[in-house]
Structure 1
Amino acid sequence: MKVFGRWVAAGGQRAADWAWQVCGLGLLLALAALPMAVAAGEHPDPDSGLPEPRRVIQAGPEDYREAVARLQPGDWLQLAPGEYPRPLSLRRLQGTAEAPIVVSGPAEGDPAVLLGRPGANTVSLLDSAHIVVRHLTLDGQRHPIAGVVAEAHGNYAHDITLEHLRIRNYDRGQGNTGITNRVPAWNWVIRHNDIRDVGTGLYLGQSDGSAPFINGLIEHNHVARTRGYNMQIKHQNPRDTLPGMPVDPKETVIRYNVFDKSEGGSSGGRARPNLLLGHWPLEGPGSEDRYRVYGNLFYENPHERLFQGEGHVALYNNLFVNRQGDGLIFMPHNDLPREVLILNNTVVAGGFGIRLDRPHGDHTQQVAGNAVFADRPLRLPDGLASADENYTESLERAGEYLVAPLAALHELDLYPRDGALGRDEATQPAASGLPDVSLDFNARERTTDRWGAYGTDQPFNPGRRQGIGPALPDCAPCH
């Protein structure tokens, strides 16, 4: 009986050992299937300006969704090259200002491509904060979806950075967008993105005035071949403030972008401007917010004007080229133009150049320092601007003053001819307090008094300062 007991005990031990081996093998297999996480060492992209990551996690098309679900503050998720067939769902992820959560594809070489699929937006943000998404290609495959969306069934999305994204094929309908927020959004940075072949490039806010977009920075983007707007920021209702939402006056800056509607746009009743800016809240938090729009190229729109705005806007040091149509207009849309500053722009247009309709009488409007070449250069309220505050000429004579105003984009040059467009210091517009107002379109210091967007004294166009604007090989003003 004792022998039998010893045999049972030994057999039980062998069974237990076998069970542990099987479980250990299963655990190893399970761990092998998980994304690889390594401790932070060398920064994945030291030129990004982002903090040193706490962990670097590597994943591919088979396991990236599991990796995303476990991201913590300071994690940097590196996606391998390849095609990703399911959405990138960033739901209830909370980074911090010091330790954001980063999701990045390869900065060079073969891309990580997120493929659109019916019924799901490709990058979905839900109640997330301090998130950076970069170096990804988003291909909507012409499904009726959007590229990047802060989803309407959430509550907020703040401190979101979207950079170096290539967004394509979201043009099933005009309402399909490249980037949009459907909930309150603040402290977003949208930069160095290339957005083409979409219904609407950037649609920020909701059509009913909810989902305010607050304190944004939109810079160095290229938006082209959109059915509707290259970009629209919707008007805003009085805000229901959320924890962390800014309540003091803020500025949304739109600078060094190319907004191009030379092809692919809708006509007739569905035609839209390249950029439309709606008004801020009429009372309460946000009512003193401002748009600062400078250093941008607005290029062609055969069916609409290039720019439309209302509310508080400063528009300066931009190039506007619409040789088949109108330039820029401030007009009532959902409210009235209020504080409006239109300064030091160069406008080349086949219709009107600069137009201001029915501005609010209790606010300041100034139109000065502009060089306008158009069939109807200025259409302004009586007494707003005298003839000596802007330089105006017909479109037909633009070539006498500008180097190549009628050329295609790859040769376009709105730089003044040598000796042209000089002005007296007394005609300089008063423009203190605006960011980078002392810089011209090229982001170079103004060294001479000239009408329009260029202000250096070289006899030829010196080109843009390094790192300014999108790097487009077929866009002469971009270099």
Structure 2
Amino acid sequence: MGRTVWAGLLCLLAGTAAAADYRADAENYREHLRRLQPGDRLLLDPGDYLQGLPLHDLSGEDGQPIVIEAASPSARPRFIARPRVNTVSLVNARHLVLRHLELDGRNLPVDAVKAEGHSRYADFITLEHLFIHDHAASQQNVGISTKCPAFGWVVRNTRIERVGTGMYFGDSDGSDPFVAGVIEGNRVTRTLGYNLQIKHQKVRPPEYADRHDTVIRHNVFSKQNALPDPQARPNVLLGHVPLTGVGSENRYLVYGNLFLHNPSETLLQAEGRVTVYDNVFINGSGDAIRIQPHNDVPRDMAIFSNTVLASGTGIQVRQGEDAVYRQRVIANVIAAVTPVLGGEAAHNVTLPYQPDLLNAAPAELTPLLLGRSQPSSRLPQALVRELAVYPDWQRATHPGARIAPALLRTLDAYPP
């Protein structure tokens, strides 16, 4: 008796159904959605899919997600947008994986992937190797958006371009929190507004009571080809976590990313609790990092081991009045018209703006700038030990960012 049959019999004896693979095409794929159970895979043939992907009241389980993916990763099924309907619509969904799909917006005023506002939850959603493009009817049209409580999302190795906003998590009034996300290895370019925004959060449900950080790593966030616009937005904006109670000790870990150019705004704006390290920031048209009050004030945060090249201000920290929090600016290499404003600065290397290095390879920028600076002392060992507690920090003895192999893989897969 074959191994698959034995596995099926064991599952039946245990009172569970065996996971199944279903093969579908553009004509019949929606018939399969209703039958998907935990552990099942829906394998989609190449072609143009015109009826969207409604994932409503559909859930896998921990360790047994429902997977919807291309039958062949080299031949993505193309989902084409329809008027007045978001292409991938999530309502009351958990433990789903979407892989190797193309979402073509045709510049209709809809979103590519949206956890809908009337959904009670959309948890443990993984989006991998998607190609999302041409959702740019206005800045309000988004590549990936959540408008309900969303926990445990992973957005990985996805390419987003020519959209209004790349990723927008949370709601404008601070409701519907986005918690414990991992955003890694993505390339987001040519957005009208933000490449990424995570909204401030007022409260969180009690089931999110444990410590949950959100990680943003090894991405390329670029507005290199954007036109100047007084309504433009930063490449990335991070709002605060809840001010008290559940979630108030959470933070954003932003590391190993490449931020490129913005003709009207800064590359990264943040408040609340944020740790920013081992990133490269290049802006030939303005500022790089701006820490400032938005919906609250900057709280305890650290900005260290970054490399910054900016024609405006490199790192600016603006606290609210009577602030009692610490914003440490440590061990960065900054070449800017104004390298540092505010914060507790120490062990940084500062230089005048170096416009001839705007086109330098990101991995070469730190050694090039250090080579033009006065000889700098090694970082104190006590500081190195202190910083070594941060995940994946590229342990360094000198200031500045060290490019992680994972970011090099993103650059190789998706050149700027």
Task: Give TM-score scaled by structure 1 length.
Answer: 0.78
- Deviation at residue 432 of structure 1 after TM alignment: 4.5
1:192 and 2:157 aligned: yes
- Deviation at residue 418 of structure 1 after TM alignment: 9.8
1:308 and 2:269 aligned: yes
| Residue of structure 2 in register with 1:436 after alignment | 392
| Residue of structure 2 in register with 1:148 after alignment | 113
Pick from 358, 378, 385 the counterpart of residue 424 of structure 1.
378
| Residue of structure 2 in register with 1:210 after alignment | 175
Tell me how far apart the structure 2 counterparts of residues 167 and 77 of structure 1 sit (CA, whole Å).
Answer: 20
Deviation digits for residues 237-291 of structure 1, max 9, x if unmatched?
12244xxx421121100000000001135611x1100000000011111111110
CA contact (8 A) 2:333 2:370 kept: no
- Deviation at residue 323 of structure 1 after TM alignment: 1.4
| Residue of structure 2 in register with 1:201 after alignment | 166
Pick from 316, 321, 325 the counterpart of residue 282 of structure 2.
321
| Aligned-partner SS, 1:285 | coil
| Residue of structure 2 in register with 1:28 after alignment | none
Pick from 350, 355, 361 the counterpart of residue 392 of structure 1.
350
- Deviation at residue 363 of structure 1 after TM alignment: 2.7
Tell me how far apart the structure 2 counterparts of residues 467 and 453 of structure 1 sit (CA, whole Å).
Answer: 12
Tell me how far apart the structure 1 counterparts of residues 281 and 370 of structure 2 sit (CA, whole Å).
Answer: 22
Pick from 46, 58, 61 the counterpart of residue 81 of structure 1.
46
Task: Report which stretch shifted further, 130-139 or 98-107.
Answer: 98-107
Higher relative CO (Cα under 8 Å, sequence separation at least 6) belongs to 2
CA contact (8 A) 2:331 2:379 kept: no
Tell me how far apart the structure 1 counterparts of residues 208 and 228 of structure 2 sit (CA, whole Å).
Answer: 36
Deviation digits for residues 114-154 of structure 1, max 9, x if unmatched?
00010100000000100001100000111000000001111
Tell me how far apart the structure 2 counterparts of residues 392 and 464 of structure 1 sit (CA, whole Å).
Answer: 23
- When residues 207 and 342 of structure 1 are mapped into structure 2, their CA distance, relative to the original with a 3 A threshold, is same
CA contact (8 A) 1:60 1:82 kept: yes
CA contact (8 A) 1:226 1:265 kept: no
Tell me how far apart the structure 2 counterparts of residues 266 and 69 of structure 1 sit (CA, whole Å).
Answer: 47
Deviation digits for residues 394-446 of structure 1, max 9, x if unmatched?
013x76xxxxx22277x883141497365323284632432112x1xxxxxx4
1:264 and 2:226 aligned: yes
| Residue of structure 2 in register with 1:50 after alignment | none
Pick from 404, 410, 414 the counterpart of residue 470 of structure 1.
410
1:223 and 2:188 aligned: yes
- Deviation at residue 330 of structure 1 after TM alignment: 0.5
CA contact (8 A) 2:45 2:72 kept: no
Mapping of residues 223-262 of structure 1, within 5 Å: 223-241=188-206, 245-262=207-224
Deviation digits for residues 369-402 of structure 1, max 9, x if unmatched?
0000000000015xx225xx21101013x76xxx
Pick from 347, 365, 384 the counterpart of residue 414 of structure 1.
365
Deviation digits for residues 440-461 of structure 1, max 9, x if unmatched?
xxxxxx4x5222102xxxxxxx
Mapping of residues 271-290 of structure 1, within 5 Å: 271-290=232-251
Mapping of residues 111-122 of structure 1, within 5 Å: 111-122=76-87
- Deviation at residue 187 of structure 1 after TM alignment: 0.4
Mapping of residues 448-463 of structure 1, within 5 Å: 449-454=397-402
Tell me how far apart the structure 2 counterparts of residues 418 and 275 of structure 1 sit (CA, whole Å).
Answer: 25
- When residues 471 and 392 of structure 1 are mapped into structure 2, their CA distance, relative to the original with a 3 A threshold, is closer
1:177 and 2:129 aligned: no
| Aligned-partner SS, 1:414 | helix
Pick from 295, 311, 333 the counterpart of residue 350 of structure 1.
311
1:293 and 2:254 aligned: yes
Percent identity, aligned pairs only? 42
CA RMSD of aligned residues (A): 2.3
| Residue of structure 1 in register with 2:73 after alignment | 108
- When residues 472 and 340 of structure 1 are mapped into structure 2, their CA distance, relative to the original with a 3 A threshold, is same
1:334 and 2:290 aligned: no
- When residues 107 and 40 of structure 1 are mapped into structure 2, their CA distance, relative to the original with a 3 A threshold, is farther
| Residue of structure 2 in register with 1:369 after alignment | 331
CA contact (8 A) 1:423 1:449 kept: no
- Deviation at residue 467 of structure 1 after TM alignment: 7.7
- When residues 412 and 304 of structure 1 are mapped into structure 2, their CA distance, relative to the original with a 3 A threshold, is farther
Tell me how far apart the structure 2 counterparts of residues 100 and 473 of structure 1 sit (CA, whole Å).
Answer: 27
Counterpart residue identity of residue 390, structure 1: N
- When residues 419 and 126 of structure 1 are mapped into structure 2, their CA distance, relative to the original with a 3 A threshold, is closer
Counterpart residue identity of residue 465, structure 1: P
Tell me how far apart the structure 2 counterparts of residues 195 and 349 of structure 1 sit (CA, whole Å).
Answer: 25
- When residues 425 and 413 of structure 1 are mapped into structure 2, their CA distance, relative to the original with a 3 A threshold, is closer
- When residues 378 and 84 of structure 1 are mapped into structure 2, their CA distance, relative to the original with a 3 A threshold, is same
| Aligned-partner SS, 1:146 | coil
Tell me how far apart the structure 1 counterparts of residues 369 and 261 of structure 2 sit (CA, whole Å).
Answer: 26
| Aligned-partner SS, 1:262 | coil
| Aligned-partner SS, 1:93 | strand
| Residue of structure 1 in register with 2:13 after alignment | none
Tell me how far apart the structure 1 counterparts of residues 223 and 325 of structure 2 sit (CA, whole Å).
Answer: 32
Tell me how far apart the structure 1 counterparts of residues 88 and 228 of structure 2 sit (CA, whole Å).
Answer: 26
Deviation digits for residues 29-58 of structure 1, max 9, x if unmatched?
xxxxxxxxxx799xxxxxxxxxxx811000
Counterpart residue identity of residue 288, structure 1: E
Counterpart residue identity of residue 400, structure 2: G
Tell me how far apart the structure 1 counterparts of residues 229 and 363 of structure 2 sit (CA, whole Å).
Answer: 25
- When residues 418 and 325 of structure 1 are mapped into structure 2, their CA distance, relative to the original with a 3 A threshold, is closer
CA contact (8 A) 1:423 1:451 kept: no
- Deviation at residue 110 of structure 1 after TM alignment: 2.6
Pick from 51, 68, 73 the counterpart of residue 33 of structure 2.
68
CA contact (8 A) 2:185 2:406 kept: no
| Aligned-partner SS, 2:31 | helix
| Aligned-partner SS, 1:210 | coil
Counterpart residue identity of residue 362, structure 1: V
| Aligned-partner SS, 2:244 | coil
